[in-house]
Chains A and B, each alone.
Chain A
Amino acid sequence: MSDVKNIAQLIILVFVQVMFLNQIHFFGFASPMLFLLFFIVFPYQENKSALLLTAFLVGLVIDAFSDTGGVYAASLLFVVFVRPLFIRLFFGQNFVYQEINLFQVSFLARVMYIFLIAFLFHLLFSLFELFDFGLWLASFWKVLISTLFTVIVCLLSLYLFSSTKK
C-alpha cells in the first residue's frame, strides 16, 4: 500500500515539477525543485539500490521534458547517494534505522537538512549543465538564490501536506 502511495506521490511531484514549476523563473533563472521533497522525506533503508534506481529514472524523465541530457539524473543520483551522511548529521546515528520524521527535530535542523540537500543538488546541477569551471564560479549566486527558493517551496509543501499526519 505504501508503495502505491509513494509511486502516486512521485508521479504527481514530477508532473507538477515539469508542467508548472519548471516554467517559473524567479529573477529570470531560479526554478524551485519541488520533486526533491520526495527524496528528502523518504525513509532511510538499508538497501539503497532501489532508491538510487528511482532517483535515476525520475531524473531521466525530467531530463527528457527539459532537454537537458542527463543533468537532472546525475545530480539527483549523487544527492541521493550521499543523503545518509546528512541524515546521520541531523537526525543522529540511531535515526538511521528509523523512519525520518522531519517534525521530530528542531526547526533549525529541519531547515538546514533541506537546505543542504537542495544546495548540493543545485550546485551539481549547474556544474553538470555548464561543464565550464570558470562560468560555474560566476553563477554561484544563481545557485544560492535557486536553493533558497527550493527550500521555501519544499518547506511550504511540507507544512501544507503533512499537517494531518502530525
Chain B
Amino acid sequence: MRQIILFLTRQKDFFVFLVLFLIAFAFTFNANSFQKSRYLHAANFVSGSLYGVTSSVSNYFNLNYQNNLLVDENKRLHQELLDIQRLKLQKVDVNTEVSFSTNQYKVLRGEIIKNSVNLSKNYLIINKGQKDSVYQDMGVISSKGIVGIVDKTSGRFASVQSVLNVRSKISAALKKTGHYGTLCWTDNSLNIVQLIEIPNVAPVKVGDTIVTDGRSSIFPKGIPVGKVKNFHLNQLDNSLTLNVELFTDMSNIQHVYIIKNREQEAIRELEKEIEKSIDE
C-alpha cells in the first residue's frame, strides 16, 4: 500500500495531466451532443454578452459596407415587388410563380455578434434566442444567400452552424435544371463549398447558379447559395462534384435573417411516421 502511495505521489504531475487531459477530451467528444448543450448555454450567456459589447463597437466601423448591402437588397426587393404587382395586373396566378405561400415562412432579423471561419467546425452566434422564438433547425440567410442552420439556443443567443462547417449537410440544386445534390464543406478554403452527388447527366457550366432546393424543411426553395466555380467527375460513382463559390462573404456578415418554417413540425411528424411504418 505504502509503495502505491509513494508511486502515486512521485508521479503526481503525470496523473494530474492524465485526469485533466481526459476531461478536456470528454468535452471535445461531447462538443455537439445533448449533454454538452447545458454547459454551452451557461458559457454562451457569459461569452455572448461580452461578444455583444465588442461587436457593437466593431460594427460601427463596418457600417458603410453593411449599409450598401442593405440598400442593394432593398433595390432588389423593390424590383421583385414591382414584378409581382405587374403579374397581378396581368391576372396571372401569383401562387404558381412564387414557390412558397406567404404564410408558411416567417422571417426574423438578427445580428451576428461572433463569427469564425478559420476552424473546420465553424459556428456563428446571433443575438436572437428562445425569447425571440428562435429554435434549432431554423435556416439563417444573409441578404445575398445562405449562411447556416441554427444549432443551439439560449435565452438571448443562438449558435448557428455555418455552411463552412464539415458537419453541415444542406440540400441544394442547380437553378436551371433542378438537379439536386448535397452541399458540404471539406475544409478547403474560405467561401468555397462542395456540391456532391449531382448526376453526371446534368448539364453543368461554370458560373451556373446554385439554389436551395426545398427538399428539407429548413430552407425554402430558391434561396441563392452561390455559383459554380469548377467541377469534376467522380470516378467512383460517376457523379459530379461541383466547387461552389458562395454569394455571401462568410468572413464579413453582420445582418442576417432567420427563417422560421411554420410547417416544419408537421413535416417532421410526417417523416417520423413514415420511418415508423418502414420499421414495422
Q: Point out residues on A near B: beta carbons under 8 Å.
A: 18-19, 22-23, 25, 28-31, 47-49, 52-53, 56, 59-60, 63-71, 73-74, 77-78, 81, 126, 128-132, 135, 138-139
Contact = CB atoms under 8 A, between A and B. Distances in A.
Given A29-B118, A67-B159, A48 B13 contact: yes
A159 B5 CA distance: 45
Closest 6 CB pairs of A and B: A70-B27, A69-B31, A28-B190, A73-B24, A70-B24, A64-B43
A70 B28 contact: yes
B54 A19 contact: yes
A135 B119 CA distance: 13
B132 to A, nearest CB: 20
Interface stretch (B15-23, B75-83, B171-179): B15-23
User: Is chain A's binding surface mostly helix, strand, loop or mixed?
Assistant: helix
A53 B187 contact: no
20 contacts: A19-B50, A23-B58, A28-B251, A30-B118, A31-B118, A47-B13, A52-B13, A56-B24, A64-B43, A67-B123, A70-B24, A70-B31, A71-B28, A71-B31, A73-B27, A77-B20, A131-B28, A132-B166, A135-B166, A135-B186
A70 B12 contact: no
A30 B190 CA distance: 12
Contacts of B190: 25, 28-29
Contacts of A53: 16, 20
Contacts of A31: 118
A76 B27 CA distance: 14
Nearest to A72: B24
Interface in B11-69: 12-13, 16-17, 20-21, 23-32, 36, 40, 43, 46-47, 50-51, 54, 58
Nearest to B15: A49
Contacts of B116: 22, 66-67
Given A29-B117, A66-B116, A60 B27 contact: yes
A68 B28 CA distance: 7
A74 B120 CA distance: 17
Interface in B251-273: 251
B133 interface: no
A69 B27 contact: yes
B72 to A, nearest CB: 24
B130 interface: no
A69 B159 CA distance: 13
Nearest to A46: B13
A56 B159 CA distance: 24
Contact of A138 (B32, B121, B187): B187
B234 interface: no
Nearest to A31: B118
Contacts of B104: none
Contact of A129 (B30, B58, B119): B119
B189 interface: yes
